[in-house]
Chains A and B, each alone.
Chain A
């Protein structure tokens, strides 16, 4: 598994890719820093809506993970190098799990650092709130990674479908139809954040923490199992 993990880390860690992820991840931090210094500080609800939900959970987190996780397998399929791995006498989960771990390892630090600094700055070094935001962001990374790794394995249109899900389903339609939040990784992460520190965040929340935790486990495990199943059954190019 180590070989697959190291290989995938190298495949996903291009220099320009890391630069762009750094720039994206720094935007919520800059935003938080500017809002804290301004005379007209936003309310708790405004900050959560615009920065935490809009920028961090709604844009930075899912887009960074999409670019990384969906290409963990998709690039190998496109380059026709996946057979190097599948023609090895190892269980298929020995290929899928390190790919997923590598995707999380590449995107996780950027998102975690972004979430940590954003909340540290915004909540005046309140470690409980910072912990809540960071852990829920990492949970989001794990969930999105599991889903997008699977998506990259099943279709060559992973990016289009992923962007539709992130931008339109979670970002656009969820604003009109609140029930969509039940089927949204973004709102599960937000719910986890509320569960870890209810003091700091807006009172209104459509998902219960228990539901979010349970659904997150099901989503993560479900997509992981689907990826393993897919790798066993697919025709490898």
Chain B
């Protein structure tokens, strides 16, 4: 099966999950292809439930989840190709980090075990601490060692739920580089995170879950463009704000103009393409200097805000 010519790795087909009378996920359908897919949503949206169903840790109430064309639930052989890092931070406190990664590698059937363990621990830069019990680790170190255990068997698919909890800025950058490298190798990575800037930087595709439903999917700019009931907000700084405002408001591409007390104007427009052409012409004809023109909601955060918060 393919999506836009690329082989579908994970297919979620009309999946719902309820717990008693609470519907956690409602009729969600999407395909995931190789690359980095960001899973976003407010707290309680159903992201973790969805990830747990994708990994087979939880069953579905309706619909189906397939990975590489096979049902993921109760299919242990498939787990050799998947690496999962859940949001829970508990580890075996009595176990040394290296022993933990080795155990996970052994369970996953890794053949050249010691080399794989060394590589995984090297990825997360914890070689010095690997001989200590994980109960002595800081939160960030536990997360990194768990990440090493997730990578030790070189999985084709990575499911990461809040993987950067407790990581410092340097580790975040290192992790971003690592993820891009893994994605470039053709792996499929699904990343759930609250850190919108990082998802915006990393993810090729975004899945936005709100109240258990799939609110949007695709690149975030494409999503933003699809939100055609929401006008774009464009900040304009000029040397004659009121004069510019009175002229701009007459353009067909403009819905409204707000003039702030500090002299900036915010133009609301559903057709920024036309505005992009008309605004400079208008300014030139009125002999007004434009000092700054900046979109205010061309970000994942704004998309998230529009869709998640209404």
Direct contact, A vs B (beta carbon within 8 Å): yes
Contacting pair A88 B58 (CB below 8 A): no
Q: Which of B57, B103, B109 contacts A87 (CB 8 A)?
A: B57
Contacting pair A80 B52 (CB below 8 A): no
Annotate A192-227 by CB proximity to B: 1 below 8 A, 0 otherwise: 000000000000000000000000000000000000
CB of A183 closer than 8 Å to a CB of B = no
Q: How far is the CA of A88 from the CA of B84 in the complex (A)?
A: 10
CB of B250 closer than 8 Å to a CB of A = no
Give 17 CB contacts A-B under 8 Å. Answer: A7-B92, A10-B92, A10-B95, A80-B88, A81-B91, A83-B57, A87-B79, A89-B76, A89-B78, A89-B108, A92-B76, A232-B74, A233-B59, A235-B52, A235-B57, A235-B59, A236-B58
> Which residue from chain A places its CB closest to the CB of B53 in the assembled complex?
A235
CB of A178 closer than 8 Å to a CB of B = no
Taking CB atoms, residues of chain B closer than 8 Å to A87 are: 55-57, 79, 82, 84
CB of B6 closer than 8 Å to a CB of A = no
CB of A3 closer than 8 Å to a CB of B = yes
Contacting pair A80 B90 (CB below 8 A): yes
Contacting pair B107 A86 (CB below 8 A): no
> Which residue from chain B places its CB closest to the CB of A236 in the assembled complex?
B57
CB of B106 closer than 8 Å to a CB of A = yes
Q: Which of B74, B79, B95, B104 contacts A233 (CB 8 A)?
A: B74
Contacting pair A90 B74 (CB below 8 A): no
Q: How far is the CA of A86 from the CA of B57 in the complex (A)?
A: 8
CB distance from B202 to the nearest CB of A (A): 23
Contacting pair A80 B86 (CB below 8 A): yes
Taking CB atoms, residues of chain A closer than 8 Å to B78 are: 89
Q: How far is the CA of A80 from the CA of B48 in the complex (A)?
A: 14
CB distance from B123 to the nearest CB of A (A): 19
Annotate B75-118 by CB proximity to A: 1 below 8 A, 0 otherwise: 01111101010101011101100000001101111000000000
Taking CB atoms, residues of chain B closer than 8 Å to A235 are: 52, 57-59
Interface residue count for A (Cβ, 8 Å)? 23
Interface residue count for B (Cβ, 8 Å)? 28
Q: How far is the CA of A91 from the CA of B80 in the complex (A)?
A: 12
Q: How far is the CA of A10 from the CA of B103 in the complex (A)?
A: 13
Tell me whether A10 and B94 are in contact in the complex, defined as CB-CB below 8 angstroms, given that A83-B86, A87-B57 are known contacts. Answer: yes
Q: How far is the CA of A85 from the CA of B84 in the complex (A)?
A: 12
> Which residue from chain A places its CB closest to the CB of B87 in the assembled complex?
A80
8 Å CB contacts to B: which residues of A1-43? 3-4, 7, 10-11
CB distance from B194 to the nearest CB of A (A): 20
CB of A84 closer than 8 Å to a CB of B = yes
CB distance from A98 to the nearest CB of B (A): 11
Annotate A80-118 by CB proximity to B: 1 below 8 A, 0 otherwise: 110111111111100000000000000000000000000
Contacting pair B57 A88 (CB below 8 A): no
8 Å CB contacts to B: which residues of A48-92? 79-81, 83-92
Contacting pair A88 B91 (CB below 8 A): no
Q: How far is the CA of A200 from the CA of B55 in the complex (A)?
A: 57
8 Å CB contacts to A: which residues of B11-61? 52, 55-59
Contacting pair B103 A3 (CB below 8 A): yes
8 Å CB contacts to B: which residues of A160-207? none
Q: How far is the CA of A209 from the CA of B95 in the complex (A)?
A: 45
Contacting pair B74 A83 (CB below 8 A): no
Taking CB atoms, residues of chain A closer than 8 Å to B80 are: 88-89
Instruction: List 4 A-B pairs, minimum CB-CB distance, nearest first.
Output: A89-B80, A88-B107, A80-B88, A235-B58
Q: How far is the CA of A80 from the CA of B57 in the complex (A)?
A: 12
Q: How far is the CA of A197 from the CA of B56 in the complex (A)?
A: 51
Contacting pair A85 B107 (CB below 8 A): yes
Taking CB atoms, residues of chain A closer than 8 Å to B84 are: 83, 87
> Which residue from chain A places its CB closest to the CB of B92 in the assembled complex?
A81
CB distance from A95 to the nearest CB of B (A): 9
* 14 extra A-B contacts, CB within 8 A, seeds A10-B92, A86-B57, A89-B108: A3-B106, A4-B107, A10-B95, A81-B91, A81-B92, A84-B104, A84-B149, A85-B107, A87-B57, A87-B79, A88-B104, A88-B107, A89-B76, A236-B58
Taking CB atoms, residues of chain A closer than 8 Å to B55 are: 87
CB distance from B302 to the nearest CB of A (A): 35
Contacting pair A90 B76 (CB below 8 A): yes
Q: How far is the CA of A7 from the CA of B93 in the complex (A)?
A: 12
Tell me whether A88 and B79 are in contact in the complex, defined as CB-CB below 8 angstroms, given that A3-B106, A10-B94, A235-B57 are known contacts. Answer: yes
